[in-house]
Structure 1
Amino acid sequence: MESNNNEFLIRPNPKGLKNVLPYIGPAFIAAVAYIDPGNYATNITAGSKYGYTLLWVIFASNLMAVLIQSLSAKLGIATGKNLPELCRSQFSKKTSILLWIQAEIVIMATDLAEFIGAALGLFLLFDIPLVYSALIAAVGSFAILEIQRKGMRTLEFVIAGMIFVVVLAFGIQVFHANPNPSGVISGLFTPKFEGIDSVLLASGMLGATVMPHAIYLHSALTQKRITGSTEVERLRIFRFELVDVFLAMLIAGAINASMLVVSSAVFHKNGLIIEDLNIAFHQFGQLISPFTAICFGVGLLAAGLSSSSVGTLTGDIVMQGFIKRHINIYVRRLITIIPPLTIILIGVNPSKALVMSQVVLSFGISFALIPLILFTSNKVIMGNLVNRRLTTNIAWVIATLIIGLNLLLLFQTFVD
């Protein structure tokens, strides 16, 4: 049952599907970060250039995402605080302000990618000029935020529904693309590269996997949503939340894999290298059918709209958490619309803007990932939900790899 403050009450020994369902939802909102329009550009490029070769990178990325998002969920459950709030309580005021500033910049870059993705989806589907598409996308993002007023649970259902739209869109595309099953299996489980360029592209795919705003957000979604009065109950809650994390990351990984598989089966097979989503849309229509192109556009639109609302929610969380300040969420949404509208008005290529937004995100990952591991490894903070030594060691290896790849991505971008 639900209490008046929207927290779920825990039964001593929850069993069965009915008692698992209240735990499902937070990871699906966080998972939107893994299927945002920035992923579209990277996966389409990887599939068209190297076929199924880099499919294993998505598989490895997904395994990393499961661990990182489970740590974020666990932090909220164990402490009743989100990551920005813990940073404020554990670090100096000056450090918290600096962390807040970088987090806001990261979220602006996130909004840029997602808002442009939604606008591009409308442009491709309905041939509406990009500026007007952007304005319509803005209205759509406000509508999704309005749904939050009906409760976080309602928003979770809406976001999950939009993720299902993306799943359906790429499921249809995979069916019509008729990929090579042996190629898919080989690419999924055989780590290899095809020259230095494939290594750099894989670095971009891996390095941009874990998004900073997903880490901040997930801890906030679990901090008071389901509460336990004892450490034993909190441990039980976390075990159920792991189901949520595994399901959400499995679906997000399947979507990303589908993007690469479709690109490989359609573009790579025909000797085409596609690095622009606009071109990808039209090539799907020519090489398969207009219907599959429409599916691609619908998926892009759904991913962009859902991601943009999630980015706005995260912005509100980091401001309250780091500096204990708050602005109206609709005012925040209005402010974050200005940069992508400006970019569209001055005629910047949307696909290039998506790539540049990923570069900005690369700056922020260490500022979220390192505190997360430090806090979840602290017995005083986490109690009996503290990381095991093996978990901590694996998390540091993953953090080192992700941060290193992001630095490589930054170096590659500025050198180019």
Structure 2
Amino acid sequence: MSQTEAVSESADGVGTVAEYVDRMGPSWIAGAIAAGPATIASLVTAGGAYGYTLLWVVVLSAGAGALAQYLAMRLGLLTERGIVAVVEDHLGETWAWLLVGDAVLAAGVAQLVIMKTVATVSATVTGIDARVWGVAWALVLAAGLAGGGYRFLELAAKTLVLLVVLAFVASLFVVPIDAGAAAAGLVPSVPSGGALVAAGILGGAVHITLITMHSYTMRARGWDRDDYGLATVDVGASMLVAFGVYSLAIFLVTASVLTSADLSTVGAAQALGPLVGDSAQWLFLLGLWGAAVSTLGGNTIVPPFLLADKLGWGTTIEDGRYRALLVAVALLSAPGAFIGGSVLGQLVLVLALGTVGTPFAIALVLYLLNSEAVPEANSRLANLGGLALVVVSGGLAGNFVVEQVGGGIGPLSGFVLAFAVALGLATLGLGGKYVREELVA
């Protein structure tokens, strides 16, 4: 009996919701990464700088994130393999390495900044030096993942995401919301200088790390084609509902109260105290702490999954080589706590940089879902949705690159430009390859 059938048969029984939540999981790990401090930083910046103006991007991000995960889910279930192996078999080794490099770079840079956030919040709550927390969290992460593997991470992700959502929703009840201004923010517009923040918000939900990891987490869960229905609900519950509510709650709180875009994520929580009371401050701070910890764990497994698959290793802790990769990535995140500078701008930049690499990942998934790699081609509606994701994420990424280059070509902006050009050309090349194949057919 498949898991879907088991859920269906128990639909009228007591404890069905708990059983169903227990069966869900892979998309909640993606949701744990999406609902992280980088997304909070983008939402805080958007609300503090532009009020309710970018509410439409927040709403769009939840739907776009769910759609991106649904497409990644289809590819993983229909092939029952990791995405890197599928790309290598059907497109070649060069394309596979390009995907690995894109995802590992985005996840690796994010890992350091996420660790800095975790350590900073931990220091704020406890009074213990952030650098001590950085080392401590790296050791805890290495021990937990190496010893418990996927099941440890899934349980932590589901628990923390639910608690984080509850914390931020509770903060809505102690902060006054201007319903009229919020409604006006549903009309699409990008204010001057808002492209980076908009890219950051969307990048939190539609990100290359979330797309590429999904096939591996489903394999670790033991899902196959028979679990298609359960996997679809898993995506909807985690990305569309939990992540959507999370993003809306944070944005509405900050847009209603904060008037500065220069606050750090911790600073935003602390600013709420004098404005709307200690309850809002501590709810926001505890929510940020949970979000940072859950994101750190989920993001850690992305590089090991992709590298192990490319090298032909196992992707569970039963393979010592994969376990060593997990430990290495966990320990290498510790230096993030020693990075100087404001974490807010770094977090937004990390998400926006990930957005630059995301259109390529979505294009790869769409190509494979319309090829002989899968037994059942994508529907027209799914393809249109996927193309819309490529266009929207590509447009926001393009605006971000233009803003970066507009300030002058320096080491960082030069790297971002080169990265964007390389992946942009690869995406166009992939589209051209598909068109030529269709014309020949």
Q: TM-score, normalised by structure 2?
A: 0.81
State whether structure 2 residue 391 is matched by structure 1 residue 400.
yes
Mark the CA change 1:14 to 1:339 in structure 2 (over 3 Å): closer, same or farther.
Answer: closer
Deviations 1:124-159 (A, max 9, x none): 21232221232233234235425634xx44532321
* Residue identity matched to 1:237: D
Deviation at 1:44, TM superposition (A): 0.5
* Residue identity matched to 2:104: E
State whether structure 2 residue 264 is matched by structure 1 residue 276.
yes
Deviation at 1:43, TM superposition (A): 0.3
Mark the CA change 1:13 to 1:382 in structure 2 (over 3 Å): closer, same or farther.
Answer: farther
Between the aligned partners of 1:194 and 1:93, the Cα distance in structure 2 is: 39
Q: Can you give the 5+ residue segments of structure 2 that lack an aligned partner in the other structure?
A: 315-320, 408-441
Q: Give the counterpart of 2:291 among 297, 303, 319.
A: 303
Stretch moving more, 346-355 or 390-399: 346-355
Q: Give the counterpart of 1:381 among 373, 377, 381.
A: 373
Mark the CA change 1:274 to 1:254 in structure 2 (over 3 Å): closer, same or farther.
Answer: farther
Corresponding residue pairs, total: 394
1:14 aligned residue: 8
Structure 1 residues 27-106: aligned runs within 5 Å: 27-106=27-106
Q: Give the counterpart of 1:254 among 245, 250, 263.
A: 245
Q: Give the counterpart of 2:218 among 215, 219, 222.
A: 222
Deviation at 1:330, TM superposition (A): 5.2
Q: TM-score, normalised by structure 1?
A: 0.85
Deviation at 1:246, TM superposition (A): 0.9
Q: Secondary structure at the match of 1:382?
A: coil
Q: Give the counterpart of 1:177 among 171, 175, 178.
A: 175
Mark the CA change 1:366 to 1:23 in structure 2 (over 3 Å): closer, same or farther.
Answer: same
Q: Give the counterpart of 1:197 among 187, 193, 207.
A: 193
Question: Cα RMSD (Å) of the superposition?
Answer: 2.7
Mark the CA change 1:90 to 1:177 in structure 2 (over 3 Å): closer, same or farther.
Answer: same
Stretch moving more, 193-202 or 169-178: 193-202
Q: Secondary structure at the match of 2:345?
A: helix
Deviations 1:147-182 (A, max 9, x none): 634xx4453232111012211221222111132334
Structure 1 residues 295-374: aligned runs within 5 Å: 295-325=283-313, 327-329=321-323, 332-335=326-329, 337-338=331-332, 341=335, 344-345=337-338, 347-374=340-367
Deviation at 1:205, TM superposition (A): 2.3
Deviation at 1:103, TM superposition (A): 2.4
2:282 aligned residue: 294
Mark the CA change 1:388 to 1:115 in structure 2 (over 3 Å): closer, same or farther.
Answer: same
Q: Secondary structure at the match of 1:94?
A: helix
**In 2, are the aligned partners of 1:33 and 1:211 still within 8 Å (CA)?**
no
**In 2, are the aligned partners of 1:207 and 1:409 still within 8 Å (CA)?**
no
Deviation at 1:337, TM superposition (A): 4.3
Between the aligned partners of 1:13 and 1:338, the Cα distance in structure 2 is: 40
**In 2, are the aligned partners of 1:267 and 1:274 still within 8 Å (CA)?**
no
1:119 aligned residue: 119
**In 1, are the aligned partners of 2:195 and 2:400 still within 8 Å (CA)?**
no
Stretch moving more, 11-20 or 401-410: 11-20
Q: Secondary structure at the match of 2:157?
A: helix
Q: Secondary structure at the match of 1:287?
A: helix
Deviations 1:199-233 (A, max 9, x none): 553244234531111111112222463555xxxxx
Deviation at 1:120, TM superposition (A): 1.9
**In 2, are the aligned partners of 1:120 and 1:350 still within 8 Å (CA)?**
no
Q: Can you give the 5+ residue segments of structure 1 that lack an aligned partner in the other structure?
A: 2-7, 229-233
Q: Secondary structure at the match of 2:52?
A: coil
1:231 aligned residue: none
* Residue identity matched to 1:329: R
Report sequence identity in percent. Answer: 21
* Residue identity matched to 2:210: A
* Residue identity matched to 1:248: S
Stretch moving more, 108-117 or 132-141: 132-141
2:232 aligned residue: 242
Deviation at 1:63, TM superposition (A): 1.1
Q: Give the counterpart of 2:155 among 154, 157, 163.
A: 157
Q: Secondary structure at the match of 1:177?
A: coil
Q: Secondary structure at the match of 1:399?
A: helix
Mark the CA change 1:365 to 1:336 in structure 2 (over 3 Å): closer, same or farther.
Answer: farther
* Residue identity matched to 2:98: L
